[in-house]
């Protein structure tokens, strides 16, 4: 009976998850009793991200083993072990995640030694950005998808993960506080264009929104690309051939013609003809202005020698105009079915 009781106790012990086991070691590394003052990313948002990674079956360490990944962010040799057989965190992580594999996949988020649930926003964002670093995750498409997943939840607390630089042609990300306020034009673009093309167009809107206050040049360049993509999506949908050399004015002209919105298609007898003509011409002029800003200050075409960077207010103008025009064209396209068989 005693042997049976011993076996039962061992069985219960081995079934305890890593979250319970780690509670026994809080005397070594005390868990903070309350969130820190600079913790603006709530525990709700952090848990949502952790749960989403689990549902999507995303391996947070990418193509690396977990000790190797964590060593990019922490000095594992200087962090105590929760297993008496090992002298530091590198040993017990290897034992329980590689050798025995008896810790939960999301153990790191609840381990008080790393304090990702209650720690500083910068530390939590640095961890997320590292999971989509080119060295950790080689597929840029997958990295972009995971980045969108993070931003879906982070925006609730006013944060975004955005592209900071490039490494061998692949994006390197950084987390930034951008505020909770949402530009109405961008909100409308998300609602309208997201339904039209939930893939690439939505990525452009998200990138544009995140960069308005932090990277005006990127926001301006992406605004121009958004209008181009919207026009091409509409033209392709309506079976209209697109010239490879078509610039913004030509794309707008083709798109408004396909939608039967060009000034030439409006009867002069209409009382609103002059107003509609001015509106359409102004929209085209705004779009051309965005293209010119892109050429001089935005991304993609290089900057002129001695050019000064534009500020957030310029980016807001470009983003607002592009979003308004794109929403107008997309809504018209959705309301007016193509006559092409």
Q: Which residue has the higher pLDDT, 320 or 80?
A: 80
pLDDT > 50? residue 145:
yes
Q: Write out pLDDT tens, residues 312-338.
A: 778 888 888 888 888 888 888 888 776
Same domain, 167 and 32: yes
pLDDT tier, 78 (very low <50, low <70, confident <90, very high otherwise): very high
pLDDT at 31 over 60: no
Cα separation, 121 vs 119, in Å, equals 7
Question: Domain for residue 6, yes or no?
Answer: no
pLDDT of residue 59: 96
**Residue 128: its pLDDT value, please?**
98
pLDDT score for 177: 86
Query: Given 113, 142, 177, which residue is the final one in a domain?
Result: 177
Number of domains in the chain: 2
Residue 183 is predicted with a pLDDT of: 58
At residue 150, the pLDDT reads: 96
Please report whether residue 4 resides in a domain. Answer: no
In a domain, 273, yes or no: yes
* 10 located within any domain: no
Q: Verify that 315 and 227 share a domain, yes or no.
A: yes
3-class SS of residue 176: strand
210 and 319 part of one domain: yes
Residues 203 and 294 both lie in one domain: yes
Q: What is the pLDDT at residue 222? A: 84
Enter the tokens of residue 118.
């209650």
Which domain-ending residue is among 118, 146, 177?
Answer: 177
* 241 part of a folded domain: yes
Helix axes 312-335, 248-258, angle to 10 degrees: 30
**Domain check: are 96 and 155 in the same one?**
yes
Buried b (16+ CB within 10 A) or exposed e, 207-220: bbbbbbbbbbbbbb
Distance (Å, whole) CA 111 – CA 146: 22
Residues 198 and 287 in one domain: yes
Q: Mark which of 126, 148, 177 sits at the end of a domain.
A: 177
Question: What is the structure's pLDDT at 126?
Answer: 96
Determine, yes or no, domain membership for 148: yes
Measured in degrees and rounded to the nearest 5, phi and psi for residue 174 equal: -145, 145
Do residue 237 and residue 308 come from a single domain? yes
Residue 206 lies in a domain: yes
Same domain, 173 and 32: yes
pLDDT band at residue 22 using 50, 70 and 90 as cut-offs: very low
Mean pLDDT (the chain) is 77
Q: How far apart are CA 165 and CA 147, in angstroms?
A: 15
Q: What is the pLDDT of residue 228?
A: 86
Domain that includes residue 133, residue range: 16-177
Please tell me the predicted confidence (pLDDT) of residue 306: 39
The count of other CB atoms within 10 Å of the CB of residue 193 is 25
pLDDT digits (tens, 9 = 90+) for 34-77: 455 578 999 999 999 999 999 999 999 999 999 999 999 999 99
The C-alpha atoms of residue 325 and residue 28 are separated, in whole angstroms, by 59
Question: Are residues 233 and 274 both part of a single domain?
Answer: yes
Q: Which of 105-119, 134-148, 175-189, 205-219 shows the lowest per-residue confidence on average (mean pLDDT)?
A: 175-189
pLDDT over 50 at 112, yes or no: yes
- 329 & 202 share domain: yes
pLDDT at 105: 95
- Shared domain for 227 and 245, answered yes or no, is yes
What confidence tens digit (pLDDT) does each residue in 169-218 have? 999 999 988 765 545 556 556 555 655 554 556 677 777 777 777 677 78
- Tell whether 195 and 259 lie within a shared domain: yes
Average pLDDT of span 273-278: 65
pLDDT-derived band at 241 (thresholds 50, 70, 90) equals very high
pLDDT at 12: 37
On whether residue 2 sits in a domain, the answer given is no
Q: What is the pLDDT of residue 127?
A: 98
């Amino acid at each position: 009976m005693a042997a049976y009781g011993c076996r039962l106790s061992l069985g219960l012990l081995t079934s305890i998850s890593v979250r319970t086991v780690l509670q026994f070691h809080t005397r070594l590394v005390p868990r903070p009793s309350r969130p820190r003052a600079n913790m603006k990313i709530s525990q709700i948002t952090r848990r949502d991200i952790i749960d989403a990674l689990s549902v999507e079956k995303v391996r947070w360490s990418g193509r690396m083993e977990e000790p190797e990944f964590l060593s990019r962010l922490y000095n594992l040799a200087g962090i105590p072990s929760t297993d008496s057989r090992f002298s530091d965190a590198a040993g017990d992580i290897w034992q329980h995640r590689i050798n025995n594999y008896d810790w939960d996949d999301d153990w790191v988020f609840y381990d008080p030694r790393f304090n990702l649930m209650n720690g500083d926003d910068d530390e939590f964002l640095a961890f997320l950005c590292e999971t989509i670093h080119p060295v950790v995750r080689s597929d840029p498409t997958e990295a972009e998808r995971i980045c969108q997943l993070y931003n879906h939840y982070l925006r609730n607390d006013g944060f975004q993960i955005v592209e900071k630089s490039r490494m061998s042609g692949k994006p390197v990300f950084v987390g930034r506080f951008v505020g909770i306020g949402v530009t109405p034009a961008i909100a409308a673009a998300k609602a309208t264009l997201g339904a039209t093309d939930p893939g690439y167009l939505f990525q452009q809107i998200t990138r544009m929104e995140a960069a308005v206050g932090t990277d005006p040049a990127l926001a301006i360049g992406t605004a121009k690309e958004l209008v181009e993509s919207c026009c091409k999506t509409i033209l392709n949908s309506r079976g209209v051939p697109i010239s490879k050399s078509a610039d913004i004015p030509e794309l707008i002209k083709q798109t408004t013609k396909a939608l039967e919105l060009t000034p030439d298609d409006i009867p002069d007898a209409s009382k609103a003809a002059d107003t509609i003509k001015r509106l359409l011409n102004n929209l085209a002029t705004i779009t051309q202005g965005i293209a010119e800003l892109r050429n001089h200050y935005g991304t993609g075409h290089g900057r002129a020698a001695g050019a000064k960077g534009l500020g957030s207010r310029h980016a807001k103008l470009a983003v607002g105009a592009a979003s308004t025009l794109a929403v107008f064209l997309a809504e018209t396209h959705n309301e007016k079915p193509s006559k092409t068989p």
